[in-house]
Amino acid sequence: MTTAEIKAMATEYIINTYGDRNLAFVKGEGPYLWDADGKKYLDFLGGLAVNGLGHCHPKVVAAIREQAGNLLHTSNLYYIQPQAELAKLLIDNSDMDQCFFCNSGAEANEAAIKLARKYAKDSGRTDAYEIITMDNSFHGRTMATITATAQTKYHVGFEPMLEGFAYVPFDDLEATEAAISSKTCAILVEPIQSEGGVNIPSDGYLQGLREMCDKHNLLLIFDEVQTAMGRLGTFFGYQSYGVVPDVITMAKALGSGVPIGAMLAKRQIAESFVPGTHAATFGGNPLVTAAASATVRTILEENLAVNAVKMGNYLAGGLMELKDKYPVKEIRGKGLLRGLVMDVDAKPLAAQCIENGLVTICTNDYVLRFLPPLNINSSHVEEAVGIVEKSMSEVL
């Protein structure tokens, strides 16, 4: 089928929650995609931080094929060997003790919200249920996680929002301290706000939140849906900042494209989830956990977190060279989560980059965001920067 034929069929039969789209990708290999009309693209969006190993990594494909031939699904009423193996891999490479598996980042955050409330009750704080989140955050699109997302544009039409969330500015310890009350049970924060514009915390901010939570007996929850899996230069993003949370949520790159999310917690906190308190029918089934285990092992064995730092710095350097010629304000980010901040609307630039064969996205109106695979090399970076510069020359 051609792109036009695919678009016509989708327009007729699929609810339009994603707007008008002009591309239909049908093949991927490494950092490259091909659309239904045969055009090749360099993918520096990575399925919104999902394709951390690029497309169709042979080790992940082999794991999926092998598992699909053995067992696709039973249920969490029974033990699942690939799930147990994945849990051990994640715990062995974190400061957490136990995992809960689900299907997405939103579900992982939903689980963390429930766990925080339940732990507060189990700890004798029966009136504590409120969670502090940050302006410009993004935590998902369920009713709880969209309420946790402190961006009013996502709330419009779905009011009333749920009770139990308080919003404060990101990177503002004083405002956070002032928002804490006897009702507060946790603080939920992204180590870097990716969807919110690639907003980076100042030195001491995350450590200050840790100290604040210790002082007031609150849980510190890190939403690592986009920052885990080596993207910031360490396997988990919190390890880049030397601050250990009580609960971590993750998804995106965990399964290289299969739908899987996870919540990790310290044992004392995890014990508040007992049989009957939370569940997920498909959560951590044999197929997705086999794919995720292959993904995790590849990232660790190939030391891709180190490559993320090297290539991320190279990308930032290349983009900085454009500042003298074009209205570039700054380059933000860490590792291979980078934002090119413009002094003008970046949406036309993002569209032109795609037209020229580079998949990227505009976020927060002025930021061109890059989330390429962790295993890219210098030639891929040079190709991407070249396309950005060409696109700038055409639309700016």
**Which structure tokens are listed for 377?**
């090399």
**Cα of 303 vs its chain's centroid, Å:** 20
- State yes or no: is 223 an active-site residue: yes
Count how many residues are written for the chain: 396
Positive or negative, the CA dihedral 274, 132, 140, 300 is negative
How far is residue 155's CA from residue 338's CA, in Å, rounded to a whole number? 27
**What does DSSP assign to residue 114?**
H
Active-site residue (options: 252, 266, 273, 370)? 252
Give start and end residues of each alpha helix (H) in the chain.
3-13, 46-49, 58-70, 81-92, 105-122, 143-148, 173-179, 205-216, 238-241, 267-270, 286-301, 304-320, 347-355, 378-395
- State yes or no: is 138 an active-site residue: yes
Active-site residue (options: 138, 165, 235, 236)? 138
Active-site residue (options: 222, 223, 236, 266)? 223
- State yes or no: is 7 an active-site residue: no
User: Are 372 and 384 a contacting pair, CB within 8 Å?
Assistant: yes
DSSP SS3 for 358: strand
Strands 261-265 and 247-250, bridge-based pairing: antiparallel
Q: Which amino acid is at 225?
A: V
Residues with catalytic annotation?
138, 223, 252
